[in-house]
């Protein structure tokens, strides 16, 4: 009996199960203590946390789409995608400041927001496309680690380029007065900040657009064909290089929008801001099943919520002081756990349906 | 080599392998006699490679048993199975490209070696002896397969035919009782094919090991095989001596009838 | 896309535009201004100018290289000069724009000082624009000349110019190191001017470099070939003597160099130890570990906690007692972190190890563990290592501990590389499935690589803690992992001498150039990309084992002996 079991499973499997079990127990115990023993938080707080989590999760989801699209087609982790995101918001910052000074934001905030998004999208798309052209295209077909190392190099190169050009300080985005306070709609106040509502709605719209684009448009179908089988797609007359550029551009556009939403939520930008959200968005993509578009969205939202609830719900209950300092650790732990226990993600892998 | 325990070195009992809905190998039972050359043939996609992957533990079989010298090896990890005495080559050569020919063969001897971390660092006499013996063995094997003088070439720099033979040398280095060769003549021209065929025949004569051979080219196996099993769509459709198989109408129909087309595909790929 | 070779006027514009854009990038990112005070030659040529016009030179070179394959040499030279002209025009345009529009709101570096530099010594705007165009064209022209010159000469010139550059950059170091030595004073006076090399010095080094390179390429300088021809016994004693001499030099180095250079060398040395460790993980076993710094941190913190005499003092051990514990704990951490991640595919492994590194950093910084490891305030008062009465206080003394560490770790790596374990690692790097089919137990083999690498990092961390006397979490961020990765890639992945060369270039050189600090990661990033694109095997590639092995046994007949050491620099 035992022998048969050991034949199927390595000792390392067992160690991993034990680790998983330990974490599960810690999560349950921590939540239990917080909710039923210490009862430090008022019930309404959990709703606020969840909504905040949704808002930040939608930003992760948008960034995650960039990882997923590229991975679906090239099977490579575009490690520099976080910097594609930074490029857009950081550049748009200067436009935002100019618009604030001239009072434009106050007068036409919707238009101002659209302009910012357009600027951020343009820059992010540009960064993504140039990156593909210079750093990744010559390496197609190289061993897997080669483009990954290139991407890591590109990531640092871009971070320090932003720092060199725009400066190393933290910059604060201007306020959108129209977005202050709770959401007032249909004659009543909702338990959600206007900014958060806007972020969630815009992100949702972008995701719907992307889903439609990938599923219904000709360019999207070409993308899926290339994801399925590059050679076959090329034989059918699809310009593979073009599709790949399109994919990077699409991911860049999503990252650009995500950048502005991030700026609305958190206000502050700097040269290195993309790194952590980048890794988290990658986590989100893996959570949902990398290469899987709806999965990336779901993964982003899930991660956002876990990260928002986790510190107070779990860590506080475990008696850890200043749990919010550890919120990044929660995201990364989640990443590690997913990759250990379900590397194909919640919804399974691939932009295409076929398996390798 | 261990004492032989049974008449058959390898027996598979109703081995079945499914990939999702696709049954690549179905209820396949074969019995490979000691010191024979046993061939599995069949058109492309018949499930031959999959069958090999099941035997070597690379795939987990869906059902069935695999018995090596009287001992069930089903479900064991590949690295254990090679220790038990089965080693293999690959249809699409899979050498360690950036290692030298010598290193490739020395890696092949890995399961028969003992030296560990400390032995290596402290360069103990045991390790030194083992290392020297392995080198000697590898050199001899390289000579045996006709690669003398190429010991220090990177595998990737060797011509195709030599890569094939290097792969066989690497497989032999693990001192197998049973050698699995997956289409060793794939991509070869007729004269190379003939040379390889002779070489395989020699393997048994000089080293006394059993060979389980995959081919989709029927002509190759007719001259050297003791027994041939024909697969089609994962199932055994015939088994017997070469002349019996050759005469079997089902084989001619299923294999040759479709074979011409699929062989074409294989060449195009 | 057609692969047909073409070179037309529009290509000239394209090359020129690339040169211009890169030059503008160099300006905007701040290099020109930052390097402007670093004079290479006698208050005339500075590093800022070199950075500014290097793109023009390079693109001129590329243009001529492409053009001459289709067109005449004259056209090629003309093309490169025109490329330079276009590049210069971009710079001039930026100068013009920057003078009339306030770019500084966005582009931090477009300061009045920078614009002053771009004037290239001219007062008037018109004059400055003209000079920019002329200098651009001239530099482009030289780039073209360089492309057309016989390979032997361009190579020699490159060596000469590199030596001039290096000596120029080393001015400060030289005067710190040898400034008060009697024998150096006249030499220094001749070589160096107030800022940068003197013209005499510059010419001397140029001639030396060119001469040396020409001599080598003439084929008369072939010690390796000569040694290879000797009988085995003689060869052995020569290599023994070479080793002994090398060791002697290494031992004498700190006495000779003094404090500051020894300090740099210990820093380089710590990176060498880490590099040798990561080289096992990435180079041998092919596992891209981006969380490598975590083990370095564990080594450092273990020594910190066990030996500190400050606020966080615990047992107050000596360095030597804490050292094995540090190495052991790092190794243990390698195994523990290794178990869950080693079944993942390569690229996931990279991200997860990075995640682990970040988790450790976040946790170390948090209030949670602050009572034990000091949070952001770190651990202070870590005593220096001591043997009897002798305290390793000064950098010249720490140097020996680092050297011992390198020798130890280098020896272990070297032994493992050619042993059964090392072969298993390399097999695994090449093809995991096949390696398993060859009887290699994947998990334990990978764990061994992980643990060995981690142990090396632990050792490096322990020495690091003792060297600094205090440790803070910010010394252990991802950048360290990236630095180590960069240096093994630049040196040549899997290559042991490559680690040393990589560390000297990537860790040693920047220490000489303080202005460089701000651009260090920028360069590393660019270097990683460039290496992967152009030279993925690194500058000192892992040799096939032909030579080491063939030293022990005569070559088989029918095969030519290996060509002696490569002739390129
Ligand atoms: N890993 C796999 N996943 C899914 N299907 C597979 C896999 N390996 C093989 N197959 C399928 O199994 C069938 C048999 O393939 P194979 O054993 O390679 O045939 P042969 O070696 O006889 O040419 C084919 O239809 C192939 O597509
Ligand atoms: Mg096959």
Q: Which residue of C has its CA nearest to B135?
A: C549
Residues of chain B with CATH 3.40.50.300: 8-85+176-268
pLDDT tens figures, B172-212: 999 999 999 998 888 888 888 888 888 888 888 888 889 99
**Residue C554: pLDDT above 50?**
no
Q: How confident is the model at residue C260 (pLDDT cuts 50, 70, 90)?
A: confident
**Residue A319: pLDDT above 90?**
no
Query: Neighbouring chains of A at 3+ CB pairs within 8 Å?
Result: B, C
**Residue C408: pLDDT above 90?**
yes
**Radius of gyration of chain C, Cα coordinates, nearest whole angstrom:** 27
Map residue C429 onto helix, strand or coil. helix
Does B76 contact A7 at a Cβ distance shorter than 8 Å? yes
Q: Give helix then strand counts, H and E, for chain C.
A: 26, 4
| pLDDT score for A142 | 81
- A18-32, A150-164, C395-409: least confident range: A18-32
Choice from B15, B40, B50 to test ligand 1 binding pocket (greatest atom count within 8 A of CB): B50
Share of chain A above pLDDT 70, in %: 94
The more confident residue out of C452 and C155 is: C452
Q: How confident is the model at residue C137 (pLDDT cuts 50, 70, 90)?
A: very high
In chain A the domains, ranked by start, together with CATH numbers, are 10-341 (1.10.3470)
Atom of ligand 1 nearest to the CA of B50: 17
Looking only at the bridges linking them, the beta strands covering B71-72 and B63-68 are antiparallel
B44 lines ligand 1 (CB under 6 A): yes
Q: Which residues contact A242 (CB under 8 A, 6 or more apart)?
A: none
Query: For residue A66, which of A207, A273, A271, A260 has the smallest C-alpha distance?
Result: A207
Query: For residue A319, which of A82, A112, A37 has the smallest C-alpha distance?
Result: A37
Distance B103 CA to ligand 2 centre (A): 27
Whole-angstrom Cα distance, residue A110 to residue A264?
Answer: 13
For C502-515, what is the mean pLDDT?
83
pLDDT tens figures, A115-155: 999 999 999 999 999 999 998 988 887 887 888 889 999 99
pLDDT tens figures, C447-486: 999 999 999 999 999 999 999 888 888 888 888 898 899 8
Whether residue C143 contacts residue C56, with contact meaning beta carbons closer than 8 Å, is answered with yes
What are residue B22's DSSP bridge partners?
A: B19
Which tokens sit at B202? 């020699």
Atom of ligand 1 nearest to the CA of B59: 1
Q: Which residue of A has its CA nearest to B80?
A: A7
pLDDT tens figures, C97-114: 888 888 888 888 888 888
**Residue B268: pLDDT above 60?**
no
**Residue A254: pLDDT above 60?**
yes
**Residue B4: pLDDT above 60?**
no
Sign of CA dihedral C323, C327, C329, C330: positive
In chain C the domains, ranked by start, together with CATH numbers, are 1-148 (no CATH), 152-221 (no CATH), 261-550 (1.10.3470)
Whole-angstrom Cα distance, residue A16 to residue B184?
Answer: 41
Query: Neighbouring chains of C at 3+ CB pairs within 8 Å?
Result: A, B
**Residue C328: pLDDT above 90?**
yes
Share of chain A above pLDDT 90, in %: 22
Question: By the CB < 8 Å criterion, does B63 face chain C?
Answer: no
Q: Please give the distance of CA A124 from its chain centroid, rounded to a whole number.
A: 15
Distance from CA of C106 to the nearest CA of A (A): 6
Choice from B21, B45, B61, B216 to test ligand 1 binding pocket (greatest atom count within 8 A of CB): B45
Burial B19-31 (b: 16+ CB within 10 A, else e): eeeebbbbebebb
Q: Which residue of C has its CA nearest to A241?
A: C1
- A132-141, C34-43, C378-387, C557-566: least confident range: C557-566
Q: Is the domain B8-85+176-268 a CATH 3.40.50.300 member?
A: yes
pLDDT tens figures, B109-147: 999 888 888 888 888 888 889 889 999 999 999 998 888
**DSSP, res A324:** G
Which backbone phi and psi does C44 adopt, to 5 degrees?
A: -120, -50
B43 lines ligand 1 (CB under 6 A): no
pLDDT tens figures, C350-377: 888 888 888 888 888 887 777 777 777 8
Distance C380 CA to ligand 2 centre (A): 64
Does C352 contact A157 at a Cβ distance shorter than 8 Å? no
What are residue B24's DSSP bridge partners?
A: none
Q: Please give the distance of CA B153 from its chain centroid, rounded to a whole number.
A: 24
**Residue B265: pLDDT above 60?**
no
Map residue C146 onto helix, strand or coil. helix
Chain B residues within 8 A of C423 when measuring between CB atoms: 99, 103, 106-107, 110
Query: For residue B150, which of B204, B205, B101 has the smallest C-alpha distance?
Result: B101
Query: For residue B95, which of B186, B166, B149 has the smallest C-alpha distance?
Result: B166
Q: Which of C427, C438, C557 sits opposite B174 (nearest CB)?
A: C438
Which residue in A286, A327, A333, A336 has the most chain C C-beta atoms within 10 A of its own C-beta, making it the best mutation to test that interface?
Answer: A336
The more confident residue out of C69 and A273 is: A273
Whether residue C20 contacts residue C90, with contact meaning beta carbons closer than 8 Å, is answered with yes
| pLDDT score for C274 | 95
């Amino acid at each position: 009996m035992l022998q048969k079991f050991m034949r199927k499973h390595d000792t390392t499997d067992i160690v991993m199960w034990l680790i998983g079990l330990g974490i599960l127990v810690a999560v349950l115990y921590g939540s239990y203590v917080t909710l039923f023993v210490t009862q430090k938080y008022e019930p309404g707080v959990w709703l606020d946390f969840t909504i905040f989590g949704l808002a930040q999760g939608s930003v992760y989801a948008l960034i995650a789409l960039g990882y997923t699209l590229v991975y679906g087609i090239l099977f490579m982790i575009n490690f520099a995608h976080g910097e594609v995101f930074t490029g857009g918001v950081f550049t748009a910052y200067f436009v935002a400041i100019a618009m604030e000074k001239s009072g434009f934001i106050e007068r036409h905030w919707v238009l101002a927001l659209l302009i910012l998004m357009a600027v951020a999208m343009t820059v992010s798309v540009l960064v993504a496309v140039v990156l593909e052209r210079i750093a990744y295209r010559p390496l197609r077909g190289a061993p897997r680690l080669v483009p990954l190392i290139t991407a890591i190099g590109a990531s640092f190169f871009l971070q320090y380029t932003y720092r060199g050009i725009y400066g190393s300080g933290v910059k604060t985005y201007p306020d959108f007065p129209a977005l202050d306070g709770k959401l007032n709609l249909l004659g009543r106040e909702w338990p959600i900040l206007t900014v958060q509502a806007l972020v969630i709605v815009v992100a949702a719209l972008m995701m719907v657009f992307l889903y439609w684009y990938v599923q219904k448009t000709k360019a999207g179908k070409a993308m899926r064909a290339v994801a399925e089988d590059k050679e076959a797609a090329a034989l059918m007359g699809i310009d593979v290089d073009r599709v790949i550029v399109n994919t990077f551009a699409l991911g860049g556009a999503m990252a650009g929008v995500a950048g502005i939403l991030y700026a609305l939520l958190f206000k502050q930008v700097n040269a290195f801001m993309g790194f952590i959200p980048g890794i988290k968005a990658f986590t989100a993509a893996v959570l949902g099943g990398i290469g899987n578009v709806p999965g990336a969205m779901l993964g982003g939202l899930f991660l956002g919520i876990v990260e928002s609830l986790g510190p107070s719900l779990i860590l506080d209950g475990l008696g850890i002081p200043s749990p919010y300092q550890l919120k990044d650790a929660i995201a990364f732990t989640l990443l590690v756990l997913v990759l250990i226990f379900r590397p194909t993600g919640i919804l399974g892998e691939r932009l295409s349906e076929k398996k390798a | 080599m261990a004492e032989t325990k049974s008449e058959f070195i390898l027996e598979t009992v109703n081995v079945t392998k499914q990939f999702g809905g696709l049954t690549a190998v179905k209820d396949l039972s074969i019995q490979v006699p000691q010191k024979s050359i046993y061939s599995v043939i069949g058109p492309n996609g018949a499930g031959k490679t999959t069958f090999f992957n099941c035997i070597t533990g690379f795939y987990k079989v869906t059902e069935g048993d695999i018995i090596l010298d009287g001992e069930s090896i089903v479900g064991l990890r590949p690295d254990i199975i090679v220790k038990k005495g089965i080693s293999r080559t690959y249809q699409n050569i899979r050498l360690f490209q950036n290692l030298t020919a010598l290193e490739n063969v020395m890696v092949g001897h890995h399961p028969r070696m003992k030296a560990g971390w400390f032995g290596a660092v402290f360069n103990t006499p045991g390790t030194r002896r083992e290392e020297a013996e392995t080198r000697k063995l590898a050199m001899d094997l390289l000579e045996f397969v006709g690669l003398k003088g190429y010991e220090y070439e990177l595998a990737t720099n060797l011509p195709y035919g030599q890569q094939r033979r290097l792969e066989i040398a690497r497989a032999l280095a693990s001192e197998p009782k049973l050698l699995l060769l997956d289409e060793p003549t794939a991509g070869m021209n007729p004269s190379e094919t003939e040379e390889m065929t002779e070489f395989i025949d020699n393997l048994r004569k000089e080293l006394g090991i059993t060979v389980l051979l995959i081919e989709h080219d029927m002509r190759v196996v007719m001259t050297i095989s003791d027994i041939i099993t024909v697969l089609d769509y994962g199932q055994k459709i015939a088994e017997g001596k070469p002349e019996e198989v050759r005469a079997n109408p089902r084989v001619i129909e299923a294999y040759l009838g479709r074979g011409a087309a699929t062989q074409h595909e294989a060449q195009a790929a | 896309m057609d692969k047909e070779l073409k070179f037309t006027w529009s290509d000239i514009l394209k090359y020129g535009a690339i040169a211009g854009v890169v030059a503008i990038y160099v300006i905007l990112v701040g290099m020109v201004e930052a390097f402007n005070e670093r004079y290479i030659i006698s208050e005339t040529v500075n590093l800022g100018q070199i950075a500014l016009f290097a793109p023009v030179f390079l693109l001129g070179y590329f243009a001529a290289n492409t053009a001459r394959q289709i067109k005449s040499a004259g056209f090629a030279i003309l093309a490169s000069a025109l490329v330079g002209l276009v590049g210069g025009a971009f710079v001039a345009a930026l100068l013009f724009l920057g003078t009339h529009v306030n770019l500084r709101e966005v582009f931090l570096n477009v300061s009045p000082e920078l614009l002053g530099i771009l004037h290239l010594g001219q007062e008037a705007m018109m004059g400055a624009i003209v000079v920019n165009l002329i200098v651009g064209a001239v530099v482009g022209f030289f780039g073209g000349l360089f492309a057309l010159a016989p390979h032997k000469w361009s190579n020699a010139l490159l060596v000469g110019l590199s030596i001039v550059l290096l000596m120029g950059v080393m001015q400060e170091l030289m005067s710190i190191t040898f400034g008060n030595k009697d024998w150096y004073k006249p030499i220094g006076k001749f070589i160096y001017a107030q800022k940068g090399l003197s013209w005499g010095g510059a010419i001397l080094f140029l001639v030396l470099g060119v001469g040396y390179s020409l001599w080598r390429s003439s084929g008369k300088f072939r010690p390796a070939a000569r040694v290879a021809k000797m009988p085995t016994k003689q060869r052995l004693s020569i290599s023994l003597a070479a080793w002994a001499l090398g060791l002697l030099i290494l031992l004498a180095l700190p006495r000779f160099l003094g404090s500051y250079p020894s300090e740099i060398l210990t820093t380089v040395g710590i990176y060498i130890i880490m590099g040798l460790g990561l080289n096992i993980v990435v180079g041998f076993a092919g596992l891209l570990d981006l969380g490598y710094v975590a083990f370095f941190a564990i080594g450092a913190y273990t020594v910190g906690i066990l030996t500190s005499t400050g606020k966080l003092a615990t047992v107050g051990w000596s360095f030597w007692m804490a050292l094995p514990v540090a190495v052991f704990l790092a190794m243990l951490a390698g195994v523990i972190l290794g178990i869950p991640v080693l079944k993942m595919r390569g690229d996931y492994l990279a991200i997860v190890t990075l995640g682990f590194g970040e988790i450790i950093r976040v946790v170390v910084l948090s209030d949670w563990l602050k009572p034990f490891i000091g949070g952001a305030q770190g651990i202070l008062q870590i005593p220096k290592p001591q043997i009897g009465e002798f305290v390793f206080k000064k950098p010249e003394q720490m140097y020996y501990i680092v050297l011992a560490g390198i020798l130890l770790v280098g020896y272990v790596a070297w032994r493992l590389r050619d042993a059964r374990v090392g072969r298993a690692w390399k097999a695994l790097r090449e093809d995991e499935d096949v390696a398993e089919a060859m009887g290699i137990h994947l998990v334990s083999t990978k764990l061994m690589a992980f643990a060995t690498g981690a142990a090396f990092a632990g050792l490096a961390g322990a020495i690091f803690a003792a060297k600094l006397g205090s440790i803070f979490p910010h010394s252990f961020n991802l950048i360290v992992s990236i630095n180590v990765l960069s240096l093994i890639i630049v040196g040549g992945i899997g290559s042991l001498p490559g680690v040393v060369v990589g560390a000297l270039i990537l860790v040693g050189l920047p220490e000489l150039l303080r202005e460089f600090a701000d651009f260090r990661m920028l360069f590393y990033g660019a270097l990683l990309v460039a290496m992967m694109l152009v030279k993925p095997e690194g500058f000192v590639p892992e040799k096939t084992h032909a030579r080491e092995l063939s030293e022990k046994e005569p070559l088989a007949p029918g095969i030519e002996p290996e060509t002696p050491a490569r002739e390129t620099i």
